[in-house]
A and B are shown apart, each in its own frame.
Chain A
Amino acid sequence: MQVEHGLFNCENTSLPSAVKLKDTAQLVLYFGAKDSLQQCDIYEKLHSLYPNAIIAGCSTGGEIIERDFNEDSCVYAALYFEKSEVKAVSAVLHNPEDSFNVGKKLATELSKKDKLKNIFILSEGLKVHGSDLVSGVNSVVDTTKITVTGGLSGDGLRFEETLVGLNEAPKSGQVVCLGFYGDDLEISWGSYSGFDNFGPERIITKSEGSTLYELDGKPALDLYKKYLGEEANNLPGSAFYFPLAIWPQNEKSEWSVIRTILSIDEKNNSMFFAGDVPQGWKVRLMWGKFDNLVDGAAKSAECAKPQKNDTFSILVSCLGRKALMGQRVVNEIEQSADTLSKEIQNNTRIGFYSYGEIAPHSISKIPVLHNQTMTITTFSEK
């Protein structure tokens, strides 16, 4: 496989005028800040560079390219698979309640073609039930053979509007699924957070879908504010500090998934999460020390590490990690890069900070929506 990649921004557009994979690239992926995407006419530019390629991308909360982190930029990668194929489908998500059906519909489309190896999802980041979307996909494909990875698009810390596009200018309310096919295609993935549980175990006593009202019979928002202290003034952004580990009541905490706050509602004393928070599940607050988060990213990279040269990795990290680590996000990017490219050549990486990561659960192996992880998907060909 061959990869070309680059970074540009509106003020200083540095897209090359000529590219090697101009005619051969099958897929161009891009991740950019919402403003950049809207102002730069991104689709038109990439389409003119790679007229034959599927062009898909989304808005972010920060972009990753190689060992660097940028904000207010746009990163892209053009892929040419010698032995594999790519198919892309998209759908409009009019209502978050449609999430399951949209996932099911798109996966059905992709399943029509043989030798499906991976479904990579780029989804609307706000008006979606991410967990349902993934469940919809899972309902169609054999998840023991086909990996499902991806991420929810972001809008920095604004949480206003996210954009996703397939073969057109990115727009709100879109879900794009990319299917990667071929016997020679190899997919590896890793998804870890590095967050640690702390404080007492609690129970979700009142919730509705992704909205959390009460823990142990007391308002959850009050508990958050207590823990945030003066940072409570910076809600919802500051809630990234304390994601929740949730798991079914009759399971052990190893089965937990992480949930991050997307927004709060002072009037209803509720919090809205990037994923469902089922009533009756157990909960512990999580706390990420910078060093541990970096270790989490390294662990993901270790799992997604390619075994050969000429590979491509997509890094989807949670916006919450960035909010927490500040400038130190470069540490997790560096650490991931070091691990992925260790002892091999030509591992190309782009990625973005998202509102949610999609990957199989580390224990159950069932694809789910994560929060607060570094999720890496690596593609290579035999």
Chain B
Amino acid sequence: MNILHFEDLNTESLQHTLLKKQIEKVEKYSGPLDPLNYFLSLIDLTYSEADRERRISEHTMRTMADEVMENNQDLMKQAEELKASQERYFLASEAANDALWDWNLQTGKVYYSKRWREMLNIPDDKITDTIEDWFSRIHPDHRKIVKQSIDQHLQGITNKIEIEHQLKTEQNQYLWILVRGLTSQKDGKVIRIAGSQTDITFRKHYEESLYKSAFHDELTGLANRALFINRLDQVISRTKRLGEKGAAVLFVDLDRFKYINDTLGHEMGDEVLKIVAKVLQNHTRATDTVSRFGGDEFTVILDPIYHLDEAKAIAERILKSLNKSYRITRKEVHIASSIGLTLVTRTMTNAESVLRNADLAMYQAKSGGKSRLEIFDQTQHEKLLLKMQIEADLRYYISRDKLLVFYQPIVDLKTSKVASFEALLRWFHPKRGYISPVQFIPLAEEVGLIGKIGQSVLEKVILQLKAWIDEVGEEDCPHIGVNISVRQLMDDNHFDLIILTLKALGDYCRFIHVEITESVIIKDPDLMIKRLEEITVLGIKISIDDFGIGYSSLSYLHNFPFDTLKIDKEFISGMMIEKKTEQLVKTMITLAKDLNLKTVAEGIENIEQMKKLQELGCTYGQGYYFSLPLRAEDATSIVVQQSFQTKQSKITQ
């Protein structure tokens, strides 16, 4: 059945290009198949190709859907893992109470966690996502270091950001914050920085209080000695290095603080110290350092100081404010202080030497009459240094009982016999040699050692006296003169001790002479008379020493219970040269006789002097002409010898 003829087909009306091409192909076909079957094979192929395309298309869609599903599941799994990880991180950060931030450097936006806002008390609607939200809250003093820390990390100099700084809360309070952060890179480019933020305010305050207690005085809040020395060392090294500006150190010591403490109580003492601290702070600048150095000592670094006058002005203002009365718990308390000032110069090597200079200046202010400002002076310093060394040595010698008592004979000018000895203190220093009492007694008085020394001499004399009585008997035992200073007499404790010591001597007191100087007469005469009478009651005789050079208040002489008048050696040596002096000596001897006093001429050096004095009717003589002060054993020899001679003459009589 071959009803289809291709030549009859009207292909013009056909739309489909392929179909038209197929018909054309069949028309040109010259193969083994008949045209219809060939045409059918082409049509068949077309359907097959279309089916194949559809099949592949469907398979592709299915495969893609599967793949997308698979990817989706992977993504969901990753999302879940991510969520779990985020939750873990959230819990961890919540537990750590840390806040989080994440700064995308590509978009410039910053993510701030909820905790971040809470930490700073920022309402949710207030914060945006800019870096300014953070940076504008950083304390102005810390902005530079925070930016520096971030920059250094961005440049790869540091391997992380870790910086402590202060951040302002919404209520304008500053918190201490520890920020940690790390960068994240993509293709070698930093794309974000993220990290945590921890509130370390509590820790910081704790550290500060620890620091304070380590370096500050609890009572006054001032720097303590350690911090002061540390600061001073810094100032010294800076001055040495740069030199263009100097500094000054004040050493402030309260006068009579012990007295305040003892009389008004420690609480009052503490209040006084607080006032002093306040005064010092009020008169110093922010760059200065005020410290409580210890007890009632305060030190100040004035920094910078360009001229001594500048430091002096500040010190004087302080002195003025410190030397007045303050009303403390309804009591009027007078505060006074002495201030030593020294400059810190390039030659200073350490805090110790600067402090020593300031301390020395203060010491001078004290010894110069207190409530003063004294500026450190190198020559004075050297003198003072010597004095201080002697003082230290003296204390050492006293404590070891190494001061010696020498005995100088006092001779009866009629009989030429030794009537008594004056006990004299002698100090032989292994390095300095013989140190005169003229040199160390005033020092001992100044530093309050005189009582101790005086008591020691008295005790030694008593022992010696007893030894001599044992040796030669009461009859032949000479008297011993002991010097007692005004201070010993004035001080209640010392005086009580003297009386107590003498009383123990009992009847032997009659062998003791107490020698006092003229100065007793002007210092509280009524008390002196009273005290001297207490001594004479014991049977002790009183000599007035070095008579004539001092106060010459002859009118007082009769009011005092004196027994002997000792004419100063100045008159004795001058007597042979000047007639006027001889006249004076004569008058003194006459006066003494009138007042029923015996006389001792001091410092007789030759026979002429002795003869003259004999002539003038002086009772006793003392001096090198007769004998130098003698060691106890040598004096003992004389005592023994004289006793022997006395006894011998009795036999011969």
Q: Do A and B bind each other?
A: yes
Cα(A284)–Cα(B52), bound, Å:
23
* Given A199-B67, A200-B71, CB of A327 within 8 Å of CB of B60: no
Q: Is the CB of A287 within 8 A of B60?
A: yes
Q: Is the interface of B mostly helix, strand, loop or mixed?
A: helix
A334 on the B face (CB < 8 A): yes
A241 and chain B: residue at smallest CB distance:
B56
The reply to whether A290 and B53 contact each other, CB–CB distance below 8 Å, is yes
For A325, the closest partner residue in chain B by CB is B49
Q: Nearest chain-B residue to A334 (Cβ)?
A: B17
Could you tell me which residues of chain A, from 204 to 232, have a CB within 8 Å of some CB in chain B? 226-231
- A334 surroundings in chain B (CB, below 8 A): 17, 21
* Residue A330 CB within 8 A of the other chain: yes
Are A229 and B45 within 8 A (Cβ)? no
Known: A330-B17, A330-B18. A227 touches B60 (CB 8 A): yes
- Asked if A131 CB lies within 8 Å of chain B CBs, one says no
A326 within 8 A of B: yes
Question: In the complex, which residues of chain A have a beta carbon less than 8 angstroms from the beta carbon of B82?
Answer: none
> Is A328 in contact with chain B by the CB < 8 A criterion?
yes
Interface size class for chain A?
A: 20 to 34
Most buried by A among B42, B46, B49: B49
For the complex, is A331 an interface residue (Cβ under 8 Å from B)?
yes
Query: Nearest residue in B to A11 (C-beta to C-beta)?
Result: B30
- In the assembled complex, B68 has its CB within 8 A of some CB on chain A: yes
Q: Chain B 60-96 against A: per-residue CB contact (8 Å), 1 yes, 0 no?
A: 1001100110010000000000000000000000000
Q: Tell me whether B46 and A327 are in contact (CB under 8 A).
A: yes
Chain A, interface SS category: helix
Given contacts A231-B56, A241-B56, A331-B17, is CB(A326)–CB(B49) below 8 Å? Answer: yes
> Contact at B17–A327, with CB atoms within 8 Å?
no
How many chain-B residues does the 8 Å CB contact rule pick out?
21
A255 within 8 A of B: no
Given known A-B contacts A229-B63, A231-B56, A327 and B45 have beta carbons under 8 A apart: yes
**Chain B nearest Cβ from A239, distance in angstroms:** 12
Query: In the complex the two chains form, what is the Cα distance from A228 to B64 in whole Å?
Result: 11
A88 CB to closest chain B CB (Å) equals 34
B323 in the interface, Cβ–Cβ < 8 Å?
no
| Interfacial chain A residues near B558, Cβ < 8 Å | none
CB distance from B46 to the nearest CB of A (A): 6
Q: Which of A200, A228, A327 contacts B49 (CB 8 A)?
A: A327
Q: In whole angstroms, what is the CA distance A322 to B53 when docked?
A: 13
Is B59 part of the binding interface, using a Cβ–Cβ cutoff of 8 Å? yes
Please indicate the chain B residues that have their CB under 8 angstroms from the CB of A242 in the complex. 60
Q: By the criterion CB–CB under 8 Å, are A327 and B22 in contact? A: yes
**How long is the Cα–Cα vector from A250 to B188 in the complex, in angstroms?**
14
Please, which residues of chain B bring their CB within 8 A of the CB of A199?
Answer: 64, 67-68
Task: Give B384-427 interface residues, CB cut-off 8 Å to A.
Answer: none
> A327 CA to B16 CA in the complex, in Å?
13
A327-B42 contact, Cβ under 8 Å, with A200-B67, A200-B68, A334-B17: yes
User: A226: which B residues are within 8 A, CB to CB?
Assistant: 63, 67
B63 touches A330 (CB 8 A): no
Task: Please give 6 more A-B residue pairs, beta carbons under 8 A apart, in addition to A199-B68, A330-B21.
Answer: A227-B60, A231-B56, A242-B60, A328-B46, A328-B49, A331-B17
User: A residues within 8 Å of B by Cβ?
Assistant: 12, 68, 198-200, 226-231, 241-242, 250, 287, 289-290, 324-328, 330-331, 334
Q: Which residues of B contact A (CB under 8 A)?
A: 17-18, 21-22, 30, 42, 45-46, 49, 52-53, 56-57, 59-60, 63-64, 67-68, 71, 187
In the complex, the 7 A-B pairs of residues with the closest C-beta atoms, listed nearest first? A326-B49, A229-B59, A330-B21, A227-B63, A334-B17, A199-B64, A331-B17
Supply 7 A–B pairs (Cβ within 8 Å), ascending by A: A198-B60, A228-B59, A326-B46, A326-B49, A326-B52, A327-B21, A328-B18
